Amino acid sequence: MQAAVFFDRDGVLNEDDGYAFEPSKIRWIKGAMEAVRAVNQSGYLAFVVTNQSGVARGFYAEQQARGLHAWMTDQLASVGARIDEFAYCPHHPEGTIAEYRHACICRKPQPGMINELVKRHSIDIGRSILVGDKQSDIEAAAGAGITGHIFRGADLEAFIVPLLLQLKQLR
């Protein structure tokens, strides 16, 4: 079983400007790409788990969310980093698009996205962490049995490197 680092997207990897879906408007958090590369180089899988209620609200389509993730994948590859899988929840109980208007087990604070990735990739939850910027991220991690860490700093690489060292001690 492999260990993994789960990242929230908006507010952790990129600035949270509200309903981000256009690559031209994405601003990476300082050290974000390097943090993902550090995770990769440490031998951990890297995942993104992100609520994307903008789909349910009609602000953008799932295709645009996937397009942004493809762009992020290319950007990360340019520095030798990779996300092993992006998971997102397009649902919201107050959405304006009927097919996405419902409560679900994948929308954080529910642990559904994390649980699916854990199952699909045979993740060792005892040696894995989640990095988020909201309490709902931490609740989702706890619901999946993973330790969550709140990122409120200015440099994600400086935040993640000590966590990776702690994880190595659990091996």
pLDDT confidence bin for 167, thresholds 50/70/90? confident
Tokens of 19: 């309903």
Residues 6+ apart with CB under 8 A from 63: none
Q: Is residue 5 part of a domain?
A: no
Judge whether 104 lies within some domain: yes
For residues 143-168, give the mean pLDDT. Answer: 95
> DSSP letter string over the chain?
-B-EEEE-SBTTTB---SS---GGG--BPTTHHHHHHHHHHTT-EEEEEEE-TTTTTTSS-HHHHHHHHHHHHHHHHTTT---SEEEEE---TT-SSGGG-S--SSSTTS-HHHHHHHHHHTB-GGG-EEEESSHHHHHHHHHTT-EEEE--SS-HHHHHHHHHHHHHTT-
Domain count, the chain: 1
Which pLDDT does position 171 carry in this prediction?
61
Task: State the residue range of the domain holding 57.
Answer: 11-117+127-168
Q: CATH number of the domain at 149, please.
A: 3.40.50.1000
Q: 76 and 33 in contact (C-beta within 8 Å)? A: yes
Write out pLDDT tens, residues 94-140: 999 999 999 999 999 999 999 999 999 999 999 999 999 999 999 99
Tell whether 74 is covered by a domain.
Answer: yes
d(CA 151, CA 111): 19
Please answer whether residues 6 and 142 qualify as being in contact, where contact means their C-beta atoms are separated by less than 8 angstroms.
no
Tell me the catalytic residues: 8, 10
Q: Is residue 46 part of a domain?
A: yes
Give the pLDDT confidence of 8-40 residue by residue, as tens digits. Answer: 999 999 999 889 899 999 999 999 999 999 999
Q: Residue 48's pLDDT is what?
A: 98
Radius of gyration of the CA atoms of the chain, in A: 15
Q: Answer yes or no: is 2 within a domain.
A: no
Is residue 38 domain-resident?
A: yes
The answer to whether residue 3 sits within a structural domain is no
- How confident is the model over 77-94, as pLDDT tens digits? 999 999 999 999 999 999
